[in-house]
Structure 1
Amino acid sequence: MSELEKSAPNVYVRPVLGSTRKAFMLAIFCFAEFMDAFIASALFPAINQMNSALKLGTNESTWIFAAYSATFAAFLLISGRIADIYGSKWCFLVGAALVGIFSLGCGFCDNKVALFVLRAMSGIGAAMTVPSGLSLIVEWFPDPVEQNRGIAFFGGAGAIGNVLGVVIGGFCVQWASWRWTFWVTTCMGVPIALITIPLVPASAPRPNKPSLRRLDLGGVSLITASIILFIFAVTSGSATGWGQAKVIAPLIISVFLASIDPHMAALPPRVWFYPNVPILAALGLIPFFWWVALFYSFMPLFEADYHWSAVSTSVHMLPAGTFSILVAGIASKLVEYVNPKWTILGGLTLDIIATFLLPFANSRERYWSYIFPAFAIGTMGNMIVYTNANIAIFMNTPPEIAGIVGAVFNCALQGAIALGVAILASIASSENAKQIAKGREPGYKGIADGFWFVLAFLLVEAIALLVFYRIPKASAGDEEKAASSASTVAVEVPEKKAQADGVS
C-alpha cells in the first residue's frame, strides 16, 4: 500500500492517461455506438430476403425491428443504474459481448420465433453499452472541451452506423445473404469486449457500497415491463388495428405499471428537476425518428417501385447519413460559443426545411431536386440536434448520475424508432386503404402524409424548445458535485505510478 493510501484511506488515485490511450478508448466507445446503430439499419435491405427465408408476413416483419428496439429502450434505465452503481467498464464490455454472441445466433436462425427472441436479447446487450459508454466518456474526459467533443463523436458514430449499416447490409444481401448482416455485427461486438478489458481502467469507487437494494430490482422491473408493453401495443396497433383488446390492454397496463414504482430508485424524480432535462429528453425523440422515417419510407419505394438493386438503393440513401459526418466535429464546438438552445433550434430549422421537401418527392426524377437536398440538409440539422441535446443534458446534470441521464436520453431515441415505425405504418396503411377503395393505386400519398406528420411533430418540438428551455445563470448540480467530492477525493497520478503502488 502506498504512503498516500495509508494517510488517506478514502483517497482514490486516478491514473493520468496518455492522449494515445484516451484516443483508443474513445474509438472503442464510438465503435460500440456504431455497432448498436448498424445492427438495426443493416436489416432494412435484408427484409425481403428474410421474409422469404423465414416465411414472415408483412405484419410479422415489423417485429424484427420492434423486438430489438423494445428491449433496447426498456433496459436502458436498468443499464444506467448498473453503470452508476457497479461501475461502467464491466457493464460496457458485457453488453458488447452479448450483442456479438446473440447476433451470431441470429445469423443461424431458421425459425422466426427464435429470431425474434435473439433480436430481443441483442437489444439488452446494446442497452448495456450506451449509458456505460457515455458514463465512461464523462469520467475519463473531464475537461469540458474534450468531453463535449467525445459526446459529439459518440453521437456521430451512431449516425454513421445508421447509414453505413444500410450500405453494408445492401452489399451483404446482393453478394452473400441476409445472415451476414448479423455475422458482421458479431465481428464487431466480441473484439470490442476483449479490447475493453486491458484498455479501459477501473472506474472510481462509488461513494456508497453497491447492493441489490440500491439497484431497486422491483422498480426497474416495473419500468422495463411498462416500456416493453407500450412498444408492443403501438407496434401491434400499427399492424393489426388499434381497436383490438391485445392493443388496448397492454397500453393501459403499461401506463399503470409506470406509475407504481414504489421507491422511484429506477428513475429518481430528481433527474427531472435539473434544468431543461425534460425538454432535452423530449428532443431525444427527434433524431432517430427522422432517420427511420427516411429508411422506412424510401427503401421499399426504391426497391419495389423504382426497381433499384439493394446496393443501388443503399447508395442512394448515403446522403441521409454521410452529411452528418461533415457537421459532427463542428456541432460539438458550437456549445463553446453559442448556448445549446440556439444551436438546437438551428438544427430543428434545417430539419423542418428538409422535411417540407419530402412530401413532394413523388418520383425517381425528383431524386436530385427534392430527395437529395432533403437528405443532405436534414441529416446535418439532425446531427446538430442530436449532438447539442446530448451535450446539454450532461452539462445540466452532475457526473454521478451520468449513466441514468444517458439512459433517459437514449430511451427517447430508441423508443422513437418503434413509435416512428408504428405511426408511419398506420398513416400509410390507412391512406393506401382509402386509395384502393376508390379503385386507385396507392402511390406516394401514404408516404407523403407520413412526412406531413413528421413536419408537424418538428414544429411542435421547436415551439416547445422556445417556450420551455431556460438558459441557466450558473452550472447545474454544483452543490451535488461538491458533496460527492467530499466523500471520495480523487487524486490524479501518472498511470505507471498508480500501478506501481498497487492501485487499480
Structure 2
Amino acid sequence: MSTASESTRQVEDFTEISQTSSSSAEKITVTESSPRETEKSDVEASAVENAIPPTETLSKRRKVLVLFIVCLAQFFDIFNGNASIISLPELGRDLGFEPGALQWILSAYTLTFASFMLISGSVSDIFHPKPVFCAGFAVVGLFAIPVGASVHPIMAIVFRALQGIGAAMNVPSSLAMIRIAYQDPVEQNHAYAWYASAGAIGNVLGFIIGGVLTARTTWRWVHYLIAIAVIPTSILAWFILPNPVPKTDKRRGIDLPGVLTLTAGLILFVYAISASSDSGWGSPQVITTLVLSVVVMGAFFGVERIVKEPALPLQTWTNKNFIPLFFYGWTAYWWLLGMELQLVDVFTQLWHDSSLIAAVRCIPLGPSGVLSCYLAGKYVTRAPHTLLIGGPTLMAVASILFALGDTPDKYWSHIFTGLIIGHMGMGGVYVGCTTMIMSGARKGEEGVVGAVTYTAYQMGATLGLAVVSSITLGVNSGRALDPISQHAGYAASFWSLLGVNGFAMIVAIFFVRR
C-alpha cells in the first residue's frame, strides 16, 4: 500500500493519482498518465494489466456518501443473518423443519456467500465495482420476498441460497470501492473500521428488530422488512457510487474455467461440512462429497497455472501475510455465528425465553461491537499485530464464560460479561485481519483479495455452524431433557470455540509477519 508521502506513480494507459495531505482532508486530482520505463517487474506489469478502471474525482462529501452506501450493504448482510437466527425457532415450527435441518436456513446463505465470492471479485476487478455492487444489493432485497412467503422448508432454503449470491456480489465490490474512494492509507483504514462498525450495528439490530417482529407479528416480516429497505437503496446506490472512466485498452477476460471449478469445489466442500451436522461425519454422503471437493479444488489450481488470465493469480498467494491471514480469517465468523446460534438456542430452548427476550439478552453485542471497531480502526495502523493476538484472547475468555453459564441466574455474571468481552475481541480480529490483508493487495487485485478474504470469513461461518450444531446434537443425544442435562451439549460446543480461538492466536504469533 502506498503512503501519503510517497511519490506519484505513473501507469501506462491509466490515470495518475496525486495525493496531497492537508490538515482536514485529502484532495485527489486525476490527470493523464505518461508512459513508464520499460524495465518493469513481472508483478508490476501484471498489476497494471489487471487494474480496476480509473474512477472520477470525488469530493469529500461524495466519498462520505459512498462509504455510507457500502456500509449499508454490510449492515444488511449481517442483519439478514442475525435476524434469521433469532427467528429460527418460529420459522422451524411454522414450516415443519426437522431439528437437524433447521440450520440450513443459515448454512444455505453462507454456502453461496462463500462459493460465489471469487467470481464476484473477479467481475468487479474486470469491469468496475459499481454495477456488481448495485446488482448484488438488489438480489438480496428481491429474493427476501419469496423467503418471507415460503410455505415449505425447501423453498425457504433455495431462496436463502439465492440471497447469498447477492451478498457475495456486495462484499468484494464494497471493499474495492473503499480502496478506490479513499486513497490515503490512514483514511482507508478508518473507512474499513466504519465498514466493520456497520456490521456490528447490524449484528445487534438484527437480533432486536428480528426479535420484535417475530414476537409481535411473524418471522415472515423479518424478510419483508429487508426487501422494503434494500431494494430502494440498491437503486439509490447507482446514483451515488462513482462512475468509471472509460478504458481505452483491451479489457481482461473472465477466467470461466477457473471460477466455475473453484465455485464447484467450494460448494462441495461447504455442503459436506453443513450436511455433517444432519447426516454425521462418517456418512458416505459427507465423505464422498469431501473427497470430491478436494479433487475439484486441486483441479482449480491446475487450471490457474495454465490459463492466460487467471481469476485468482497464483502471485496473489505471495502477497504479504496473505496465506496465514486467509486461515486466520476462518476463525472470526466461526466463533461469532457459532456463539450466537448456540446462545439463542440456550435462551429459547433451555431457558424458555421468547424471541423478544432472547433478542434483549443479545443487546450487549451492539455497543461493544461498535466501540471495538472504532478503537481497532484508530490503532490498527500503529499496532495491527496486537489486534490479531489480543482479539482471540478476549474471545477465548468469552468462550469459557459461555460454557460455564448454564442457568438463567448466571446471565449477568457469565453471558452478559462474555458478550461484551468477546465482541470487543471480535472487532480487533475483523478490523485487523481485513486491513492487513487488503493493505498487501497489489494494484488491480483489490476485488479478488477482498473476495478471498470474505470467502475465508464465510467458510469459517459455515464450518462453525455445522461443527457446533453437530457437537451439541451429538452430546445431547440420549441425555435427559431437563435444561441442565441438555446444557452439556451447548457447553461442549463453547469449549470447541475456545480451541478455534487458540488456533487464531497461534497463527498470529508464529506466522503473521509484523
Normalising by the residue count of structure 2, what TM-score does the alignment of the two structures yield?
A: 0.86
Query: Which residue does 2:40 correspond to in 1?
Result: none
How far apart are 1:376 and its partner, in Å?
0.3
Query: Which residue does 2:268 correspond to in 1?
Result: 229
Note the 1:190-339 alignment, pairs <5 A.
Answer: 190-204=231-245, 209-211=250-252, 214-261=253-300, 262-264=302-304, 265-338=310-383
Structure 1 pair 8–419 and aligned structure 2 pair: CA distance change class (3 A): closer
Does the 8 Å CA contact 2:175/2:447 hold for their aligned counterparts? Answer: yes
Structure 1 pair 281–206 and aligned structure 2 pair: CA distance change class (3 A): farther
- Separation in structure 1 between the aligned mates of residue 248 and residue 371 of structure 2, nearest angstrom: 41
**Which residue, out of 54, 71, 87, partners 2:128?**
87
How far apart are 1:157 and its partner, in Å?
1.3
How far apart are 1:205 and its partner, in Å?
5.2
How far apart are 1:263 and its partner, in Å?
3.2
Query: Which residue does 1:28 correspond to in 2?
Result: 69
- Separation in structure 1 between the aligned mates of residue 347 and residue 193 of structure 2, nearest angstrom: 31
Query: Which residue does 1:465 correspond to in 2?
Result: 508
How far apart are 1:389 and its partner, in Å?
0.9
- Separation in structure 1 between the aligned mates of residue 272 and residue 68 of structure 2, nearest angstrom: 37
Instruction: Structure 2 unaligned segments of length 5 or more: list them.
Output: 1-15, 17-29, 37-52, 305-309
The residue type paired with residue 179 of structure 1 is R
Structure 1 pair 232–179 and aligned structure 2 pair: CA distance change class (3 A): same
**Which residue, out of 69, 94, 102, partners 2:143?**
102
How far apart are 1:220 and its partner, in Å?
0.7
Number of corresponding residues = 464
Instruction: Structure 1 unaligned segments of length 5 or more: list them.
Output: 472-504
Structure 1 pair 6–182 and aligned structure 2 pair: CA distance change class (3 A): closer
1:396 matches 2:437: no
Cα root mean square deviation, aligned? 2.3
Could you say what secondary structure the match of 1:61 adopts? coil
- Separation in structure 2 between the aligned mates of residue 406 and residue 76 of structure 1, nearest angstrom: 9
1:70 matches 2:111: yes
1:432 matches 2:476: yes
How far apart are 1:441 and its partner, in Å?
6.6
Query: Which residue does 1:343 correspond to in 2?
Result: 387
- Separation in structure 2 between the aligned mates of residue 202 and residue 177 of structure 1, nearest angstrom: 41
How far apart are 1:59 and its partner, in Å?
2.1
- Separation in structure 2 between the aligned mates of residue 435 and residue 283 of structure 1, nearest angstrom: 35
Does the 8 Å CA contact 1:319/1:375 hold for their aligned counterparts? Answer: yes
- Separation in structure 1 between the aligned mates of residue 486 and residue 416 of structure 2, nearest angstrom: 20
Query: Which residue does 1:119 correspond to in 2?
Result: 160
Does the 8 Å CA contact 1:103/1:182 hold for their aligned counterparts? Answer: yes
Per-residue Cα deviation, 1:413-432 (whole angstroms, up to 9, x for no partner)? 11111111111111112211
How far apart are 1:435 and its partner, in Å?
3.2
Query: Which residue does 2:4 correspond to in 1?
Result: none
1:452 matches 2:490: no
Does the 8 Å CA contact 2:55/2:243 hold for their aligned counterparts? Answer: no
How far apart are 1:207 and its partner, in Å?
8.3
Does the 8 Å CA contact 1:287/1:383 hold for their aligned counterparts? Answer: no
Query: Which residue does 1:140 correspond to in 2?
Result: 181
The residue type paired with residue 490 of structure 2 is I
Could you say what secondary structure the match of 1:372 adopts? helix
Does the 8 Å CA contact 1:138/1:399 hold for their aligned counterparts? Answer: no
How far apart are 1:206 and its partner, in Å?
6.0
How far apart are 1:434 and its partner, in Å?
5.5
How far apart are 1:457 and its partner, in Å?
1.7
1:363 matches 2:407: yes
How far apart are 1:107 and its partner, in Å?
1.4
- Separation in structure 2 between the aligned mates of residue 243 and residue 121 of structure 1, nearest angstrom: 29
Does the 8 Å CA contact 2:134/2:238 hold for their aligned counterparts? Answer: yes
Identify which range, 128-137 or 181-190, moves more after superposition. 181-190
Does the 8 Å CA contact 1:435/1:441 hold for their aligned counterparts? Answer: no
Structure 1 pair 268–178 and aligned structure 2 pair: CA distance change class (3 A): same
> Greater relative contact order: 1 or 2 (C-alpha under 8 angstroms, separation 6 or more)?
1
Per-residue Cα deviation, 1:281-318 (whole angstroms, up to 9, x for no partner)? 12211222222122211112111222222111101011
The residue type paired with residue 333 of structure 1 is K
Q: Among all aligned residue pairs of Structure 1 and Structure 2, give the percentage whose two residues are the same amino acid.
A: 33
Normalising by the residue count of structure 1, what TM-score does the alignment of the two structures yield?
A: 0.87
Structure 1 pair 269–7 and aligned structure 2 pair: CA distance change class (3 A): closer
Structure 1 pair 387–115 and aligned structure 2 pair: CA distance change class (3 A): same
How far apart are 1:179 and its partner, in Å?
0.9
Query: Which residue does 2:223 correspond to in 1?
Result: 182
Per-residue Cα deviation, 1:240-285 (whole angstroms, up to 9, x for no partner)? 2122221111111111101112432232221111111111112211
More helix as a share of residues: 1
Structure 1 pair 146–256 and aligned structure 2 pair: CA distance change class (3 A): same
The residue type paired with residue 274 of structure 2 is T
